[in-house]
């Protein structure tokens, strides 16, 4: 059996982005996307949706330190993982119905890289 990463056609960038996803009942759940590509993401959740579920998401894409935009997308759960204890590794692999715009992906990645550099520099002081 192939590992999840081997089935992907493109690299997922490690990021931490606020995301709200919506259950079929319409209830919104706040969480974080922990990786991102044009075609999918991993959403951390202790209550992931079922495999095959289609749902709406609102990804918060940072533009700079003071502003961001909400990117509304639709996704489908490709896999999910839940362990008997709370973990940031619990969650669901999501395939976007329509690929993300490249500019949004690049903005999210650039912001997260800048944030990591600032954190590393702060630790050196």
SS3 sequence, 36-48?
Answer: ECCCEEEEECCCC
The helix/strand/coil state of 106 is helix
CATH number assigned to the domain comprising residue 74: 2.40.10.220
Is position 3 within any domain?
A: no
Structural domain that includes position 70: 12-124
Total of domains in the chain? 1
With b meaning 16 or more CB within 10 Å and e meaning fewer, what string describes 92-125? bbbbbeeebeeebbebbeebbeeeeeeeeeeeee
Is position 84 within any domain?
A: yes
pLDDT in tens, 80-94: 998 877 776 899 999
This prediction's pTM: 0.83
At 125, the pLDDT band (50, 70, 90 cuts) reads low
């Amino acid at each position: 059996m192939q590992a999840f990463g081997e089935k992907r056609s493109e690299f997922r960038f490690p990021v931490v982005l606020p995301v709200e996803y919506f259950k079929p009942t319409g209830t919104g759940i706040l969480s974080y996307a922990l990786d991102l590509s044009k075609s999918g993401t991993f959403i951390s959740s202790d209550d992931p949706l079922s495999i095959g579920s289609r749902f709406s998401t609102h990804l918060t894409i940072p533009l700079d330190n003071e502003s961001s935009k909400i990117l509304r997308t639709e996704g489908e759960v490709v896999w999910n993982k839940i362990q008997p204890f709370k973990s940031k590794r619990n969650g669901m692999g999501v395939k976007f119905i329509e690929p993300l715009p490249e500019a949004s992906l690049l903005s999210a990645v650039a912001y997260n890289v800048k944030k990591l550099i600032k954190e590393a520099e702060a630790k050196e002081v």
